Amino acid sequence: MIQRDTFGQARDGRDVTRFTLTAGTIAAEILTLGATLSALRAPDRAGLCRDVTLGFAGLAPYLVAHPYLGSTVGRVANRIGHARFTLDGRTYQLAANIGAHHLHGGPTGFHMRLWDVVDVDDGADPALRLRWVSQAGEEGYPGALTVDTVYQVTRESELRIEFYATCDAATPVNLTNHAYFNLAGAGDILDHELELHASQFVPTDADCIPFGITRPVAGTPMDFRAATRVGARIAADDEQLRIGHGYDHCWVFDKPAGELETVARLVHRESGRVMELATTQPGVQLYTGNYLDGSLVGRDGTRYGRHAALCLETQHLPDSVNHAGFPSTILRPGMTYHQTTVHRFEVC
C-alpha cells in the first residue's frame, strides 16, 4: 500500500523521500520536501489512470521558487496585506515576497522545508504523517509552531489531508494544500465544470488584498452555485476578474463553520473524471493558473501554460489577521488547530 524511494538530496545533503500511497482506484505521491503532493493518479471512464495534478519529474525545480505545486503552505496561506499584523498590542513585520505583501508563509515558508516523517501506516487505508517545527521568528511570525500534515488514501478512492498544529505563543495559522488539478491530465481546465456551495466571495483591491468584506456572487461571474464551465465567464468584463487576470479569489462556503461537508464538485466530461471536495474549512481560494506562462516543464515534458490547471485551496479567509470581521486565525497555547479536506474521485 505504501512504497518509498529517495527522490533526491536537499541543499544540505539530506535525502528527500517520496512516498507512494495506493488504495481504491487512486495513488498519491508525497514528498518530504514541503510535505508536497507531487502526483495523484486517477482513472477515467475507460479505466486509464493519469496524473491529475501538476508536478516536476525531478527534485531540482522544487528547490527553487515555484508556484507552490502541490505544496503545504503556511504558517498563513494566501496574502497578508503589507506583510504585517498586530496581535495582543504588538505589531509583527513579516517577510514580503509579493510586492509589499506576504504570500503563503514567505519565501522560505513550509513549502521549502524538509519535513520529518513521524508515522507511516501501511494499512488498508494507508497514511503518512509529516511534521515541521517552525521556530519563533521564522519569516517574522511569533512563537514556535509544531505542524503535522497527514495524507491518507482510502479504499473509497479518497485523498484525505489533515492539518494539526500547536504553539507556545499566540500566532496566526491558516494552512492549505496548493495542488494544481487538471482532471483531463493535459490541456487546459477551461472546459472543466465547477460547482461551489458558496453564495459569497471576498473582493480584493488591485494587489489582491481583501477589503475585509464579502459580496454576493449572484449576478456576477463569481457565481458557481450551479455547475458552470470554468472558462464560460473567465474573460468577462468584470473588475475583480481583471484584478486577478482570471479567478484568484476566496469563496465563503454556506455550510456551518467547522463541519466536514461536501462543498465543491469538479467534472471533466470527456474523460469522465469527477472530484468532489469536502472540508471543515470556511472558504476556498479558486486560482485558475492565470500566471502560468509555459516556463515550467512538467513530468512528461509538457510546458505548463496559462490555465493548465486550477487550485481549490481550502482555507480561512485571506488576510483575516487584519480584518476583525473575518473568522479568527489566531492559535493560542493550549489550543489545537485541526482542519480536514477530502478529495473524492469517481467516474461519471
Residues annotated as catalytic (active site), given as ranges: 178, 313
Alpha-carbon gap, residue 174 to 280, rounded angstroms: 12
Alpha-carbon gap, residue 69 to 203, rounded angstroms: 25
Contact 27, 3 (CB under 8 A): no
- Cα 286 off chain centre by: 9
User: φ, ψ for residue 307 (rounded to 5)?
Assistant: 65, 25
Alpha-carbon gap, residue 34 to 196, rounded angstroms: 28
Q: CA end-to-end span of the chain, whole Å?
A: 26
Please list, in sequence order, all residues whose beta carbon lies within 8 angstroms of the beta carbon of residue 271, skipping any fewer than 6 positions away. Answer: 44, 45, 50, 183, 184, 185
Of 280, 286, 285, 304, which is closest to residue 294 (Cα–Cα)?
304
Contact 220, 238 (CB under 8 A): yes
> How buried is 91 (Cβ within 10 angstroms: 0-12 exposed, 13-18 middle, 19+ buried)?
exposed
Residue with cell 505544496: 71
Contact 32, 115 (CB under 8 A): yes
Of 123, 85, 101, 322, which is closest to residue 213 (Cα–Cα)?
322
Of 111, 102, 177, which is closest to residue 141 (Cα–Cα)?
102
Strand partners, 90: 87
